[in-house]
Structure 1
Amino acid sequence: MTADAGLLHAARVVGPGQVEIVTLPLPEPGPDEVRVKLEGCGVCASNLEPWAGPDWMTFPTEPGGLGHEGWGVIDAVGPKVDGLKPGQRVALLGQHGYASHDVAKAGQVVPLPPELDGLPFPGEAFGCVMNIFRRSAIAPGDTVAIVGIGFIGAALTRLAARIGAKVIAISRRDSSLDLARDMGAAHVVPMHDHWAIIEEVRNLTDGRFCDVVIEAVGKQWPLDLAGEIVAEGGRLVIAGYHQDGPRQINMQNWNWRGIDVINAHERDPARYVSGLRQAVEAVATGQLDPTPLLTHRFPLDHLAEALDATRDKPDGFVKAYVAWEES
């Protein structure tokens, strides 16, 4: 893709499964804003329902829209911006990351240290991981089941195992179970048969089940399963993004077990920024390695393929990102 000085190149979704690249004037940052020349942007599973074209979706999206996991280098700052300057490499909480540039509030931009030089870093996604981990309140010695080992589940496996929790990873694909082992899971359980999984977890925990269970899929069955393997007085953490309609729950089971149920999603921008800063520190200090979690790279003009891969999960897939490439 050829870059033109002073112009914005952005992808927008124009219909179900359809993307076009548009060229527009480069946006200028306003007061308390910075403009970032993007290196890339992570592809989030939350994009998949809009990508499929549900009745409520309006096309086309805004240029760059749906992309919210961007990182790159500041190339312009607006008035009243302190502590940030052109040339700084940053991650940002922008909303138009499927593009060559994005503009964000200065307070929603986090500098990246030299330890992250050269690494792709969809910071918002890693920030979500850190916020889920905080909300989960996992302690050393806890038995933790993680249902669904995608990007979120794998990263949480690493963080939980690192502090001394015993992790039971439950997932459908063999490659996901292999990744969970690499991330430190003590046990892996194929996600095929509901009752067989419950019995295996029962046996692994001497009948007590799990102090913490994190549901990281976003579908009805994994939620049902997660509720069945929480110990009495334990904690069920819902990290999966449930976007395809209402859910039913077994309230009798939840009541009987006396469990705490935590929705681990955040909407406060300050919480997002805090998680993002913690993620930067976790990667910089070696607590978390992003490399095995970012498996599929696409140029921006192949965004459709990146979204399809996120939906179809080819062998070995964990997370896709698009990268701005100049020619």
Structure 2
Amino acid sequence: MDAAGRTPSATMKAARLTGPGRIEVIDVAIPAPADREVRVRLQGCGVCASNLGPWQGPEWMKFPTAPGGLGHEGWGMIDAVGDAVTAFAPGDRVAVLSQNAYAEYDVAPEECVVTLPPGLEGRAFPGEPLGCAMNIFRRSNVKAGDCVAIIGAGFLGLLLIQLCKMAGARVIALSRRPFALALARQAGADEVIALADHFAIIEQVHQLTGGRFCNVTIEAVGKQWPLDLAADLTGERGRLVIAGYHQDGLRQVNMQLWNWRGLDVINAHERDAAIYIGGMREAVAACEAGRLQPFDYLTHRYPLERLDEALDATRDRPEGFLKAVVMFS
């Protein structure tokens, strides 16, 4: 081991996709950080629904993936830093925005790393999706007194319910799963509605809002029907916020309705790493202060060797499932 903590001859376990619905765990060399990078010995990595497209093996997908590939929600301890790194040191516990975190180690630029304070010691902390929740909430521009419909009460939807309630909004939560609706109530939702009958839902929200519908509707599912419903629930000059990840093909929209009601449509997705990191820092502060409570929503934990099961659960969403994380011993 050199002065920077590098161990280039050592190996680590890393998972990679070898074909549709198939993984293997292999031994590969532990990466060394470049001058402005840190290396993190990962404690865990969240499993993102964006992995499901590659997991299904579409035509554009190339197998095998890079070792650790698709994992981007990691956290752990820095164990080595590049020569030009000044903001971090070995031993710092961090959340990291990296690309190969389905492995025991990953590297990332120092500007893609966020310190985890002592108050979060021992907590699983998939920083990227928590940062996404903060960024979506900010772009939704929810204000005190707004009526907000949140379609989808999974991991992301429940976080958004918490954030909207803290802002002083009235929240209507919608989900197809009874247990998720119960959690939405616990998170502060004022009303909960089962995602069942499209027109019955419209009528119920019409009555709940005195015919005005919602100032803001956040679609957090990523499917055609919830997107259609989101427009129907958004009132005149309201904001329709697309937070769901629509990765399985083209969508159609009711442009006549969007025009007639004068909707502001916000695609609340980011690609700028600096914006991601800003949201992650906000999430760290909110979790440390107890304003955001995500930890009970990390419902399923798997070792790296069972990443395939974690991906299947993320796709199939068995009873009680909200979010899976891969944990490293």
Pick the TM interval, shorter chain: over 0.9
Aligned to 2:283: 279
Mapping of residues 177-188 of structure 1, within 5 Å: 177-188=181-192
Mapping of residues 44-63 of structure 1, within 5 Å: 44-63=48-67
| Distance of 1:246 and 1:113 partners within structure 2 | 42
Shift in Å, 1:291:
1.6
- 1:153-187 CA-to-partner distances (Å, cap 9, x unmatched) read 11000111122111000110001101111110000
* Residue 64 (structure 1) aligned with residue 71 (structure 2): no
More displaced 10-residue stretch of structure 1: 167-176 or 285-294: 285-294
Q: Percent identity?
A: 61
Match of 1:12 among 16, 27, 39: 16
- 1:189-238 CA-to-partner distances (Å, cap 9, x unmatched) read 00001000000100110100000000000111000000001010110000
Aligned to 1:237: 241
Over the residues paired in the alignment, what is the CA RMSD in angstroms? 0.8
Match of 2:322 among 306, 318, 323: 318
Aligned to 1:193: 197
| Distance of 2:29 and 2:49 partners within structure 1 | 29
| Distance of 1:109 and 1:286 partners within structure 2 | 22
Any conservation in 2 of the 1:124–1:276 contact (CA below 8 Å)? yes
User: Could you tell me which amino acid in structure 1 is paired with residue 203 of structure 2?
Assistant: E
Match of 1:115 among 97, 100, 119: 119
User: Could you tell me which amino acid in structure 1 is paired with residue 284 of structure 2?
Assistant: V
Mapping of residues 117-266 of structure 1, within 5 Å: 117-266=121-270
Q: State the secondary structure of the residue aligned to 1:192.
A: coil
Aligned to 2:3: none
| Distance of 2:37 and 2:268 partners within structure 1 | 29
Q: State the secondary structure of the residue aligned to 1:126.
A: helix
- Structure 1, unmatched stretches of 5+, are none
Shift in Å, 1:104:
0.2
Query: How many pairs were matched up?
Result: 321
TM-score (norm 2): 0.97
Aligned to 2:302: 298
| Distance of 1:221 and 1:157 partners within structure 2 | 21
Aligned to 2:30: 26
Aligned to 1:102: 106
Aligned to 2:312: 308
User: Could you tell me which amino acid in structure 2 is paired with residue 286 of structure 1?
Assistant: G
Any conservation in 2 of the 1:162–1:184 contact (CA below 8 Å)? no
- 1:120-155 CA-to-partner distances (Å, cap 9, x unmatched) read 000001000000000000001110000111111110
Q: State the secondary structure of the residue aligned to 1:278.
A: helix
User: Could you tell me which amino acid in structure 1 is paired with residue 52 of structure 2?
Assistant: L
- Structure 2, unmatched stretches of 5+, are 1-8
| Distance of 1:272 and 1:88 partners within structure 2 | 20
TM-score (norm 1): 0.97
| Distance of 1:308 and 1:180 partners within structure 2 | 24
Runs of at least 4 residues off by over 2 Å:
none
Q: State the secondary structure of the residue aligned to 2:281.
A: helix
| Distance of 2:281 and 2:87 partners within structure 1 | 15
- 1:82-133 CA-to-partner distances (Å, cap 9, x unmatched) read 1100000000000001010000000000000011100000000100000000
Any conservation in 2 of the 1:8–1:27 contact (CA below 8 Å)? no
| Distance of 2:45 and 2:14 partners within structure 1 | 12
Shift in Å, 1:37:
0.1
